[in-house]
Structure 1
Amino acid sequence: MDTIKLSSSSRRNAKSCIYIGIALAIISVGILYIPNIAVSFIAAFGIILAYLGIRIGLSKSAQPQFGLVLCHDHLQFHHRYGGWALPWEQIERFGIPSVGRGFERIELNYIGIRLRDEQFLLNTLSPRLCAHLLTEQRSALFAALRQECPTGSCPSDHLLEDDYYHTHSGETYHGLKAMFANRMANMRQMTGYDLLIDQSIVEQSPEKFLRLARDFRSQCLAGNVNRG
């Protein structure tokens, strides 16, 4: 199977933001010298907008060019603070996680991955990446908790993950890795998936990606069986 690299939508319009910010800064500085209070306020506001535009553009540029890479034997995830690689055998299924009760389910803006063994992933994650993923996935956690407790007044043990985690195989984790492991366990309980990837990580629609990933995984696993 040929490797498929999926561009990250997080980098979209990065250069445009930078160029517009620079142009706005030049214009604002130019009119700043006009002896008029109203014009000076407009120029100052323009400089603030220019700064924000350049900062957003630089932040977008720092994102990896490819968010996900499908290889013949594994799936790669690229983040500005690290990444991970999962063999296809370690992935049980893909899907769009949903939360709710009964027949009323609300889909989250994430791609869900259910793992066969969370320990394999935990051993490859850096604490730095764990910290950022914990922060980025809090919106999914809050959405799930809102469905469990619509009034918002119910106490929840999921708001702050424990920094201790013990796997079924006897491995013990501490610190950020343990917190991320507990987050995965909580998300599996509430959504059915351990690992959540923001849908913005790829430019194509989540439905199209899921078809691609499922077909690619099936063909790779079938090829591995035939070679064996």
Structure 2
Amino acid sequence: MIFSLVAFIALGLTVFLFPAVKSAAVAILLLAAFTLLIIAIKQAQEPALSFTLTFMHIQFHSPSGGWLARWKNISEIGPGTISYQGWHQPIPWVGIRLKDYEEFLDSICPRIASRILIEQRPLLFLAYKRLDNPPHQIEDMLFDDRHYISRNGKRFKGLLAMLANRMQYNRELLGFDFFISEDLLDRSTDEFIGLTRRYLAAS
């Protein structure tokens, strides 16, 4: 933010002191400084906490919304890996496997559901590429929007159905329903997994 503000001042002084300077160059630099300022403002609005862990649940927070999963509805938390020819290559993601999707789908914000679908798409694609005989076509897995019916008979449509279907494919190919990127954490994935497993064991 400071850098962008300094750039605005420098551009103003340049135009004032050197009126003959090309306007196209000034416009490009002004646009770049303005873009930096917008990025800085957005980063400043990010919450100080991205996760809340209580004795009842784990909750994700962001300016776009979030999600919540109770410990009683989580069956496993572990490091994300990509399997290939019997070897498991670690990836900087934490995997979560749920017991039932309905509660999680009811808690998630649609914008975050969309973000999960987009950001975690490469993980499914990587797992798919390492299979000799894939059980499904990659297009079918990435864009499956069939209605999802929970164990209790609740029907999910649209974006939430797409997320539920994606979680099923993730479980089949990656062992977990959805993932948390290490970029969102204030510690390493191993430390985060250790912490969440202690909460999980105590629930």
TM-score range, shorter chain: 0.7 to 0.9
TM-score after normalising by structure 1:
0.77
| Cα distance in 1 between the residues matched to 2:183 and 2:63 | 14
Q: Establish whether residue 115 from structure 1 lines up as the match of residue 61 from structure 2.
A: no
Partner of 1:166: 149
What code does the residue aligned with 1:216 have?
Y
Structure-to-structure mapping, 1:58-69, within 5 angstroms: 58-69=41-52
- For 1:113-192, list aligned pairs within 5 A: 113-148=96-131, 156-192=139-175
Structure 2 residue aligned with 1:81, among 64, 68, 93? 64
How many angstroms does 1:113 deviate by? 0.6
Asked whether the equivalents of residues 80 and 90 of structure 2 are also in contact (C-alpha less than 8 Å), the reply is: yes
Shift of 1:168: 3.9
Q: Distance in 1 between matches of 2:131 and 2:15?
A: 54
Question: What is the identity percentage for the equivalent residue pairs of Structure 1 and Structure 2?
Answer: 27
Tell me, yes or no, if the aligned pair for 1:163 and 1:178 is still in contact at 8 Å. Answer: yes
Q: How many angstroms apart in 2 are the aligned matches of 1:148 and 1:25?
A: 52
Task: State the shift of 1:84 in Å.
Answer: 2.0
What amino acid does structure 2 have at the position aligned with 1:179? M
Q: Aligned ranges for residues 194-209 of structure 1 at < 5 Å? A: 194-209=177-192
Aligned residues: 198
Structure 2 unpaired stretches of 5+: none
- Per the TM alignment, residue 177 of structure 1 is displaced from its structure 2 partner at its CA by 0.8
Offset, 1:41? 5.7
Q: CA deviation at 1:36?
A: 4.7
Q: Which sits farther off after the overlay, 165-174 or 176-185?
A: 165-174
